Homo-oligomer: A and B are copies of this chain.
């Protein structure tokens, strides 16, 4: 069905190895006239090189594997897209493999190994505590992850979560808020802990330590954010601002605050996290800490490819986050505690 080098060679009257030299190879010299002849034959026949055969002899598939847990998540899909593009721009294909309830991480990694990917990009935050994923990933193959990998040993790239928490806290403190609550991601997750650390420290440094009743854990979802916000305001109706650990939950928070009859942002300020594309269109437009998903994907892919090319890469790399101020935050009406 496909045309092979032999076919092209036959048509142009040379050996297939010579055809290889002009069509795919990087070695060897051929005269301009035969080169021309071979090129023409290839075009006429519609020759398309066979990457599997090439990969076999070169011992490199020129392909990276992308292991993602849930890329219907906007953040993950942005990452995957950016990574794929960066890989493509350097000539690499991207083989994706998703892990979810039905298929365990080991199997997904194994599949990628079967295809002999040259490296693996991991975007599976929900699996950061899975020791089996860690074991499967630690090996001779280059790997770069955007989340912590259990057991370590895998270069990680991400954003500075502690700074994220601190930025949110400082912004709200700067506006004059004194009773600030927070809706967090799952407590066991690194990202949650780090953000909480930065957030807590900034509050403490301002002499406003965070009481536990103003911390409610949620699960990254709209519903979770909605419920947690109600819970938070039930526990302490006096809070004037809420830091929500992602934009999706922040939407739920906005809805919950609306339902309680609060005027936004006058009665309660909200800071989100992520800066998803639609956050500027919420009512009110959401102030949020921008997490550079795309840049992370690009950078992760770049590092992975560098690593594949034999270079040394840092074990850890943090991209800067940035506060995007919109209209969901303002000064509280009352100044007193």
Contacts and interface: CB of A to CB of B under 8 A. Distances in A.
Interface of A: 1-2, 48-53, 55-56, 59, 61, 63, 70-72, 74, 77-78, 80-81, 84-85, 88-89, 93-98, 100, 102-103, 110-111, 113-116, 140, 222, 226, 248, 251-252, 254-255, 258, 277-278, 280-283
B113 A48 contact: yes
A232 to B, nearest CB: 17
A1 B115 CA distance: 14
Contacts of A102: 85, 89
A70 B78 CA distance: 10
Given A52-B52, A72-B77, A115-B51, A97 B88 contact: yes
Contacts of A59: 1
A72 B82 CA distance: 9
A280 B55 CA distance: 48
B78 A72 contact: yes
Contacts of A115: 51-52, 63, 93
A96 B98 contact: no
The CB with the most chain B CB atoms within 10 A, among A70, A96, A103, is that of A96
Nearest to A141: B1
B281 A252 contact: yes
A85 B108 CA distance: 11
Contacts of A50: 56, 114, 116
Nearest to A74: B74
A280 B84 CA distance: 31
B222 A277 contact: yes
Given A52-B56, A77-B80, A84-B96, 8 more contacts: A48-B110, A72-B74, A72-B78, A81-B98, A88-B98, A93-B111, A94-B96, A251-B278
A226 B280 CA distance: 12
A52 B55 contact: yes
Contacts of A281: 222, 226, 251-252, 254-255
Nearest to A139: B46
A1 B81 contact: no
27 contacts: A48-B113, A49-B114, A50-B114, A51-B115, A51-B116, A52-B53, A52-B56, A52-B61, A63-B95, A63-B115, A71-B80, A72-B74, A72-B78, A72-B81, A72-B277, A77-B80, A84-B97, A85-B98, A88-B98, A88-B111, A93-B95, A93-B111, A94-B97, A95-B96, A226-B281, A255-B281, A258-B283
